[in-house]
Copies of this chain bind each other. A is one copy, B any other.
């Protein structure tokens, strides 16, 4: 069975200035075609480190995918290093030069400099994988039964080379096992309690099937994984086990697909042909941002009023001044008026209104940092719930958003169940 090592190159990864999102994307794509990732290694822009890592990983995996270190600037040493590692010499590649010329003439509309032309230089020991999205080409090398593919670190360029060249090449070259995953999403139950709930199920799982717990912001995803040669047998078995699992966690089940909470809500709205607005204070537009990140969201999401200041709660959402004075901005009475105001002004089927203290400042003894009121409703009814989170600002915003969308999800299901 073949496996892959991913090597990411760049000092920025080792001093923490950049979060490596490329590796996760590559791993997802490889998984889809049945190739497991064995290891991911990040090293700096250091000759010996990169050289040794190439040696080590090629003893562990048959395919080595490398990202980063191919920029046009002096700190990027990967290309000359690969040239030496694979006993080549640097030559201008005509296809790569044509690509660079085209980019500068037609897309960037800037004159081509010496430095840009140098981007079309590659070791003559490689096969060039053209990168129409940028100036650094992908490069494929072979050595001792091992395939090495070097790609730029810019995510959309790397993704293009993976889809255009690497995935087709791997599919052609290897006979791959079938890998199957099933993921469901639960909300409102911790990892330990969930494990207790499904203990008997987990104990009787066949050894070739793995169950993983993936907790994140109130959500725990459960993932079943199986692999083997007989696709039909694997699919049938995992499907049946997945059905059982869904039944066991049904009280906490959000969706039986691997999708975010806001996508579940979006699908409900779309199915019912209904619309949503939000009236946000403490989340500052994050609910709105989450749902509008989904392509096509204009079909069900009409807009949001982010009333971060009290005056805007009054002016834009018709919250009464006395309600704020009497109860404070973070109160049940205020989120109810915000919700009513939003339903009236934005004229949607549902709305979510929230107000809270995200920290680090702004808390008091009665209302400490992490206090949040959420209201969810439609023209007929409004429900409210108070929360007490106890984390940092970013995590409080995330948890507030997830809980708000979950309340809305349950509310929509209640309203539409007949």
Contacts and interface: CB of A to CB of B under 8 A. Distances in A.
A213 interface: yes
B292 A303 contact: no
A39 B43 contact: yes
B41 A212 contact: no
A24 B19 contact: yes
Given A41-B40, A73-B195, A210-B75, A284 B288 contact: yes
Nearest to A28: B16
A24 B28 contact: no
A37 B156 CA distance: 27
A306 B279 CA distance: 10
A13 interface: yes
Given A14-B38, A305-B303, A305-B305, A284 B295 contact: no
A36 interface: yes
A42 interface: yes
Nearest to A394: B293
B289 A316 contact: no
Contacts of A303: 305-309, 312, 316
Contacts of A74: 195, 202, 211
Contact residue range for chain A?
A: 35 or more
Contacts of A108: 190
A181 interface: yes
A403 interface: no
A14 B36 contact: yes
A225 to B, nearest CB: 8
Given A192-B72, A286-B289, A23 B27 contact: no
User: What number of copies of this chain does the assembly contain?
Assistant: 2
A124 interface: no
B304 A306 contact: yes
A359 B191 CA distance: 37
Contact of A18 (B24, B25, B36, B45): B24
Contacts of A41: 39-42
A191 B118 CA distance: 14
A345 B305 CA distance: 11
Nearest to A74: B202
A113 B196 contact: yes
A163 interface: no
Nearest to A8: B40
Contacts of A311: 302, 347
Contacts of A195: 72-74, 115
Interface string A278-314: 0010011111110111011110011111111101100
A21 B23 contact: no
A40 B42 contact: yes
A116 interface: yes
B284 A293 contact: yes
A393 interface: yes
Contacts of A15: 27-28, 31, 36-37, 181, 225
A17 B214 contact: yes
A12 B214 contact: yes
A159 to B, nearest CB: 9
A360 B295 contact: yes
5 residue pairs, one from A and one from B, having the closest CB atoms: A284-B292, A285-B288, A285-B285, A16-B27, A16-B28
Given A288-B306, A304-B304, 16 more contacts: A14-B27, A16-B26, A39-B42, A39-B49, A72-B192, A73-B195, A74-B202, A115-B195, A119-B192, A284-B293, A286-B292, A295-B393, A302-B311, A303-B312, A303-B316, A316-B346
17 contacts: A13-B40, A16-B25, A16-B26, A20-B24, A38-B43, A72-B192, A72-B195, A75-B211, A284-B291, A284-B297, A285-B287, A286-B292, A295-B393, A296-B361, A302-B308, A302-B311, A311-B347
